[in-house]
Amino acid sequence: MKKTKVKKGHVLNEMLVDEETKRINWFPGHMNKAVKKIKEKIKLVDIVLEVRDARSPLITANTTITECFADKSRFIVINKSNLADPEAVKKWEEWFKLQDVPFMFLDCFDRSSLKKVIAESKRIVKQRRADSDAKGEKKKLRMMIMGLPNTGKSTIINQLANRNACKAADKPGHTRTQLWVKVDDDLEILDTPGVMPPKIEKYEHGLWLTAIHAIPDLIVTTETSACFIIEHLLKLKTEEFKEKYKFETLDLTLIEALDHIAKVRGCVQHKGESDYDRVYKIVLIDFRKGNLGLISFGLPPKY
C-alpha cells in the first residue's frame, strides 16, 4: 500500500491507493474508533436507521457495520433520490422489495417522507416488542442513525428536530462524535459519524463514492474525480450536461471537453491555456447539485 502525494510537499496519511490492485481506501483512525463506539451503544437503541445514497444504493452500504445489527430492527433510508436516475431508482425499488428489509427512497428535505419513516419505525419496533412479549409499555423510541459519510444523516436529524441539532456540511467526515438528539418526547436519535468500509473492493466503486462525495476529493484528487465524471457523462450524453456547458456535440475526447468547459465558463489563463483546476471544481459542484442530469452508478445485481 502506497501513500499518494497530491501536492508538492504534502502527503495525506489517510490517503491510500493500492497501486497494484488500483483500489481506493479511506478509513482514518476516527472511523475505527466510531465503529467501536457504535458496537458499544447499539444495545441502547430500539432500531437502526441506515442511510444510503440513492445514486448508488448497494455501494453506499457498509456490511462491516450492519453485521453488528443482527439482533436489532433495521430500516434502510435511501436518501438523495432527487439526484438519482428515476429509471434506476425504479429498478432498485424492485430489488429491495426482495431483500426482506424495510426501506424507503426519499429526499431528506421532504419532511412528509421523513414522518413516514418515523411512523414505520415505530410500527416495526412495536411489532417486535409484541412478538418478544416485552413487559411494560415503552413509549419513547430510541433510534441510531448510521451510514457512510455525507449521505445526509445529520440533515435528516435536523429536519426531524426542526432545528440545527447536528452540524451538517457538504464535506465527508464532518461528524466525528456521537450525539444524542431529543426530537420530541417520543423520539431520541443517536447521531453517529459517517463510517466507510475498511476496504473498497473495486477501484471503480471508489470513483463512484468520490463522485457522490462520500470520499473527500483529496483522496484521489479533484482531477481524478472530475475527469471520471466528465467521461461518464460523455458516455451517457445527458441533455443537462450538454446544455449546461453549451456543447454542440458530446462526441468529444476528455481533453476537448475540458477545454470547451474552460472556454464557456471563463477558465482561461492569460496565455490562453485552460485553467483545469478551476474546471474540475466547477464540474464537481455542478454534478453534485444535480445540474448535469440525474445520474446513478450501478444497477441491482440481477441487471
- Helix (H) / strand (E) containing 194: none
Residue 101 has pLDDT above 70, yes or no: yes
Q: Is the pLDDT assigned to residue 166 strictly greater than 80? A: no
Is pLDDT above 60 for 3? Answer: no
Query: 3-8 contacts: CB < 8 A, separation 24 or more?
Result: 6/218, 6/221
For 128: left if phi > 0, alpha if psi spans -120 to 50, otherwise beta; the answer is: alpha
Q: Where residue 1 falls among pLDDT bands split at 50, 70, 90?
A: very low
What pLDDT, on a 0 to 100 scale, did the predictor assign at position 73? 93
Q: With beta carbons less than 8 A apart as the criterion, state whether 187 and 143 touch.
A: yes
pLDDT at 22: 77
Which residue is associated with the grid cell 430500516?
Answer: 75
Cα–Cα distance for residue pair 278/264, rounded to 1 Å: 12
Please state the rounded mean pLDDT for residues 145-153.
95
Q: What does the buried/exposed string (b/e) look like for 144-174 if buried means 16 or more CB atoms within 10 Å of the residue's CB?
A: bbbbbbbbbbbbbbbbbbeeebbebeeebbe
Mean pLDDT rounded to a whole number for the chain: 88
**Is 15's pLDDT higher than 60?**
no
pLDDT at 65: 85
More confident residue, 245 or 66: 245
Q: Is the pTM of this model over 0.85?
A: yes
Q: Provide, for the chain, the percentages of residues in helix, strand and coil under a 3-state DSSP scheme, each rounded to the nearest 5.
A: 40, 20, 40
Q: State yes or no: pLDDT of 12 exceeds 50.
A: no
* The three three-digit cell numbers of residue 282, written as one number: 466547477
Which three cell numbers mark 228? 471520471
**pLDDT at 176 > cutoff 60:** no
Which of 74-78, 128-132, 216-220, 297-301 bottoms out in mean pLDDT, i.e. has the lowest?
Answer: 128-132
Say what the pLDDT of residue 10 is: 30
Cα(118)–Cα(145) distance, rounded to whole angstroms?
Answer: 12
Q: What is the predicted pLDDT for the residue at 8? A: 33
Torsion of CA 136, 141, 142, 144, to 10 degrees: 140
pLDDT at residue 175 is higher than 90: no
pLDDT at residue number 2: 40
Residue 105 C-alpha cell reads as 427512497
Residue with cell 444497477: 299
φ, ψ (nearest 5 deg) of residue 234: -65, -35
Ranges 10-14, 174-178, 232-236: which has the least confidence: 10-14
Please compute the mean of the pLDDT values over residues 127-138 and round it to a whole number. Answer: 72
Specify the DSSP element, H or E, that contains 227: helix 222-236
State how far Cα 188 lies from the chain centre.
23
- At 253-294, the pLDDT tens digits run 999 999 999 999 999 998 899 999 999 999 999 999 999 999
Asked if 225 contacts 277 with a C-beta cutoff of 8 angstroms, the reply is no
Q: Which residues pair with 145 in a beta bridge?
A: 49, 191
Determine whether 1 is exposed, middle or buried from the number of CB atoms within 10 Å of its CB (0-12, 13-18, 19+). exposed
pLDDT for the residue numbered 14: 42
Give the model's pLDDT for residue 55.
98
The length of the chain in residues reads 303
